[in-house]
A and B are shown apart, each in its own frame.
Chain A
């Protein structure tokens, strides 16, 4: 299946992917509305790690092992066509998936007492990963490997 990959030699640590991700998953029609509207702060599901020599973004690998899905206590996390996504109405915020994910890709939504995670934008209006579209240096790609 197609997944999001990051070339850490090209990542500028500009964090635009985080903004595009947060906006796409905020439910707002565009970036300005997403960040300017009162209410819940948009939360990115991709995270940029910055270092002295390299930077890179990390998001859910939709890995084969799927420890988050298999350890989920409520059945909120599930897999469809290889894509792991969360049913926010069933998540109770126990954070067992945060404990289980070896990539650190489950995002804690403190306000909502639940988690969020990358679903490759299959559930939002964007249709394909917003982080990939928004990366100015093509450090993030969506491809089959």
Chain B
């Protein structure tokens, strides 16, 4: 069997693991337009901050490809999938034939049209190269303007704060991390970050850029030495849509991660997932999801049918030392407790835990995540203990025995 993987990040590594569980001899070729050994995208902010070395930004050990019998074609872009001939065409004209193909192309930074932006030497915050460029330009005392108060923009702010820069973040939304947190947690996190010297200007956007300043819709003007655009990301779906595959906001797959095209699979941030906590399809651009989708796809590509189920949104966020863990869907009956330094929200619906936010005290949060994923009914646990904190004590003795005893899943 001849496997080809377009992409070299989390979903690709998951795919390799899935294939090698079953097929130890088939040929695997990884194609990526980035020249690096597989590295961790979320670590780029830690690298910029100086917390992660050049050696440790890599997602897998240096001998990973060798150990897994993977050939790499790095620094070349896949431009076309020819489904009739079953091959991938590269930007240098080379054709790479496949029996089974994985499209793990991830996403790209979304840069909305903004007046005057062409005058600015701006950065995005997505790849190793993008943070290398920032690192080569950043200097102590610089004024940095970040467009976007989502996770990427805020991780950029955290990393750049170590360079003693003057940071301003603007966002069209009325709060930070709007797609991950509720209003209250967003406000608490915002004030925590403000205490570390980062300024926020919310509910506004840029009317017009000049080379070193931005005139905002609200009348303010912000001067900057460096501009980072972190508004959001868009899935890289073109290879599949151009080949005639089904694409909506992202690439559409079935539960085996196969696209609508024969022998072509897809995984990671470029795909649409089924969110079982909200019973809806959405893009779940989170690293664990990419790995698990890739692994599922890899097994199927190698001939063992299996399904990827129970995907839910979930995030572990640490910013300036404050940690938030959240998962699931926030529509339902709420149970909220808070202290000066902590915030907890549990959301119940249909007699189940559907979502939660833990801020400050995040210990053992995964027990809640597990409850959401497994769809355990509230009647089957001790509700008082559930609300108190994540603990195995809330389960019945039988379920605990199943979880902790001889039966290993």
Chain A contacts to B: CB under 8 angstroms: 3, 5-6, 8, 49, 51, 54, 56, 58, 61, 63-65, 67, 70-71, 73-75, 89-90, 92-104, 106, 108, 145
Asked if B42 and A73 sit within 8 Å, CB to CB, the answer is yes
Asked if A102 and B292 sit within 8 Å, CB to CB, the answer is no
Chain B contacts to A: CB under 8 angstroms: 14, 40, 42-43, 46, 51-52, 56, 58-61, 287-288, 291-292, 295, 314-316, 318, 323, 325, 327, 362-367, 369-370, 373-374, 390-393, 397, 400, 403-406, 408-409
Asked if B14 and A70 sit within 8 Å, CB to CB, the answer is yes
Asked if A71 and B404 sit within 8 Å, CB to CB, the answer is no
Partner of B365, one of A58, A75, A98: A98
Residue from B288, B366, B408 having most chain A Cβ neighbours under 10 A: B366
Complex Cα distance A6/B393, Å? Answer: 14
User: Across chains A and B, which 9 residue pairs bring their CB atoms closest together, nearest first?
Assistant: A102-B370, A104-B364, A71-B288, A101-B366, A145-B406, A95-B316, A99-B316, A73-B42, A96-B316
Asked if B316 and A92 sit within 8 Å, CB to CB, the answer is no
CB distance from B284 to the nearest CB of A (A): 12
Which chain B residues border A51 with CB–CB below 8 Å? 393
Known: A98-B364, A103-B392. 19 other contacts (CB 8 A): A8-B397, A54-B393, A61-B404, A63-B409, A64-B408, A70-B292, A73-B287, A75-B40, A92-B43, A92-B51, A92-B52, A94-B316, A98-B325, A98-B365, A98-B366, A99-B365, A102-B374, A104-B366, A145-B408
Q: A70-B291, A74-B56 are in contact. Are A99 and B404 (CB under 8 A)?
A: no
Q: What are 10 A-B pairs with beta-carbon distances under 8 A? A: A61-B408, A70-B14, A92-B43, A95-B325, A95-B365, A99-B315, A99-B365, A99-B366, A100-B288, A102-B366
Complex Cα distance A63/B405, Å? Answer: 11
Which chain A residues border B56 with CB–CB below 8 Å? 74, 89-90
In the complex, number of A-B residue pairs with CB atoms less than 8 Å apart? 121
CB distance from B94 to the nearest CB of A (A): 30
Asked if B314 and A99 sit within 8 Å, CB to CB, the answer is yes
Asked if A103 and B366 sit within 8 Å, CB to CB, the answer is yes
Asked if A73 and B40 sit within 8 Å, CB to CB, the answer is yes
Which chain B residues border A56 with CB–CB below 8 Å? 392, 400, 404
Which chain B residues border A74 with CB–CB below 8 Å? 40, 42-43, 52, 56, 59
Complex Cα distance A2/B400, Å? Answer: 19
Asked if B42 and A94 sit within 8 Å, CB to CB, the answer is yes
Q: Which residue of A lies closest to B39 (CB)?
A: A75
Complex Cα distance A100/B325, Å? Answer: 10
Asked if A103 and B316 sit within 8 Å, CB to CB, the answer is no
Asked if B288 and A95 sit within 8 Å, CB to CB, the answer is no
Which chain A residues border B392 with CB–CB below 8 Å? 49, 56, 58, 103-104
Partner of B391, one of A63, A95, A101, A104: A104
Complex Cα distance A67/B291, Å? Answer: 10
Which chain B residues border A101 with CB–CB below 8 Å? 364, 366-367
Which chain A residues border B397 with CB–CB below 8 Å? 8, 54
Which chain A residues border B43 with CB–CB below 8 Å? 73-74, 92
Which chain A residues border B58 with CB–CB below 8 Å? 75
Which chain A residues border B374 with CB–CB below 8 Å? 102
Which chain A residues border B60 with CB–CB below 8 Å? 75
